[in-house]
Structure 1
Amino acid sequence: MFSLIVEWMTPTLVDTLAGPFPELVPEPLTTATAVLLWVVLGLTVLSIALTVLTPNPRKFAERSERDAFLDANRPSDREYRFNLILMVLGGATAVLAWPTFIEVLRETFPMVVELGGAVPTVWTLGNVAIFVVFVLGVAAYTRGLDRLVIGGMREFLYRYHADDWDE
């Protein structure tokens, strides 16, 4: 989504800054925007890699301790259903609100870039509410998806180690 927003907003940024900063637009500015995308991607991957490569602080002396920990951290069927519903409703909400979100963003971006820009006409109470609903929908979708993936991994670990306990 970040990549799409940057891609769609770059022409607006180029048009807005072409007058005051002709030496920066378009080539250095578009290159800087592309570099920004790669930096964000790199920082995201680095952050995830550092988290994944960090040693697990949990050590279990007894199998019963490990069993109790894994059992306590598995999602219940109710949590799976809730997160699935959260993901579906959040995703559907975000998809439905996407056109208005982009319209508001496109109209707002030049105002942010230009000093003293006029308030966009697209800023109606309904459109701003849809903008907020989009952000909340994306947050709900990512939260539900994250909990389903992490819950699935915890369930896998529980079942995988359950086989160890039979030995």
Structure 2
Amino acid sequence: MTTKIELFSDEHEMEFIRVISAYDEDFIAEARKLKGKFNTTKKSWDFPIKAKEKVEMAVYMIFGMSSDAASEKVNIELTFLESVHAAKSSVIIAGRIIAKATSRDSSAEEGWGVTLTEGRIESGGSRSNWYTRVEANSVFEVKRVQKKHLKLLEKNKSVSFKIIE
């Protein structure tokens, strides 16, 4: 699932900001601080429009993604230098879901626009404390990464990347 930020109006013409994203405990905590409400129908977090800047900053800090849909995008080869796992969540790098699982037994799969070319991804742990894991030396081809988010990748010590055609 790709993270999305949308503006919308309710039946009373009140404006809101909607965030559709993968499950992430850090984002949930931040959404609650910003008075967000989870919309079970849309599977999104909805916020009053006055919180727009703070919501966009939270999405950027947690998912590495901004609302600037017009930014230039590139394809990259992403190599994990060490094993990375996410407790009860997806492995997310630079705003993209690289590997996701929904339980210990669900088995992990690549995110949208992501292809595992070498290595292994898996889910594991206990029934109530499951995780998603990407093994060290796993290589992925990731399509349409926002070019401005490559700076986040440069700072991430657990991965390396190169731009591909």
* Structure that is richer in helix per residue: 1
Q: Name the structure, 1 or 2, with higher relative contact order (CA <8 Å, separation 6+).
A: 1
Larger Rg: 1
TM more than 0.5: no
- Give the TM-score normalised by structure 2: 0.22
- Give the TM-score normalised by structure 1: 0.22
* Structure that is richer in strand per residue: 2
